[in-house]
Amino acid sequence: MTPDQRRTFIADHTTIGPAPFVPEVRLHMGGLAMSLWEAAALADERLPVPPPYWAWPWAGGQALARYVLDGPDVVRGRRVADIGSGGGIVAIAAALAGAAHVVAIDIEPYAVEACRLNAMANGIDTVVEARQADPVGSDDGWDVVLAGDVWYEAELAAYMEPWLRRLAARGAEVLTGDLGRAYLPAAGLSELARYTVPTLVDLEDVTQKEARVLRFGAG
């Protein structure tokens, strides 16, 4: 699929509305997970077809976006990276809070196009740069690094954690959102905020989750 075809698919299979816990941010969102997964499987030539996680604002990302909007000094005037950005809720929140530039990075091409559409829907597409890449190991001198919900797989967590710690050690403000995922690092994190975030039953099996915003220590 071309980027234009992906954007058309996203527009045809989502509706634009406010994020449940961050209504300041408008997103292209899917409805019931299974119907969108089936549509994605029919449209995508890749096998296996990646799940369309970009179509929903996950609780860890919503918590991090809420924290940034409520405390804009974290990002105001600074260069920000949103890692594993999905549909871009965290990147968009950072832009709305006054970040000078935000790069939203994800390996999934549909997520990149969803982020671009969502940035346009919020009028901040000149501030948010959506980039398809594996960011681990790179460092563009970001002042702030935000990682919403990245602790759900052991392999991914083991891959991500050392890099985020290196960024914190060189002076970046590294924050992550988490709702009690199994592979969250066990040490070196300080809690900044805690929220009860609405969730979809067919994604998380419950209607709400407790989510925390955590900071990686520089040590």
Q: What pLDDT does residue 91 have?
A: 98
pLDDT at 110: 94
How far, CA to CA in Å, does 200 sit from each of 19, 24, 59, 178? 12, 19, 10, 16
Task: Calculate mean pLDDT across residues 98-122.
Answer: 97
Among 127, 143, 132, which residue's Cα sits nearest to residue 105? Answer: 132
Using the predicted structure, report yes or no on whether residue 163 has a pLDDT greater than 70. yes
Our count of domains for the chain comes to 1
Please indicate whether residue 107 or residue 44 has the higher confidence score (pLDDT). Answer: 107
Query: Is residue 181 within 8 Å of residue 156, measured between CB atoms?
Result: no
Confidence of residue 34 (pLDDT cuts 50, 70, 90): low
* Sequence-separated (6 or more) residues with CB below 8 Å from residue 188: 165, 216, 217, 219
Interval 200-211 mean pLDDT: 84
What's 28's domain CATH number? 3.40.50.150
Q: Give me 157's structure tokens.
A: 């967590």
Please provide residue 33's backbone torsions phi and psi, each rounded to the nearest 5 degrees. -60, -45
**Mean pLDDT computed over every residue of the chain:** 93
Domain that holds residue 12: 3-216
Helix (H, G, I), strand (E, B) or coil at 71: coil
pTM of the model: 0.94
Does the pLDDT of residue 47 top 70, yes or no? no
Give the confidence band of 219 by pLDDT, cuts at 50, 70, 90: low
| pLDDT higher than threshold 80 for residue 42 | no
User: Quick check: 46 pLDDT over 90?
Assistant: no
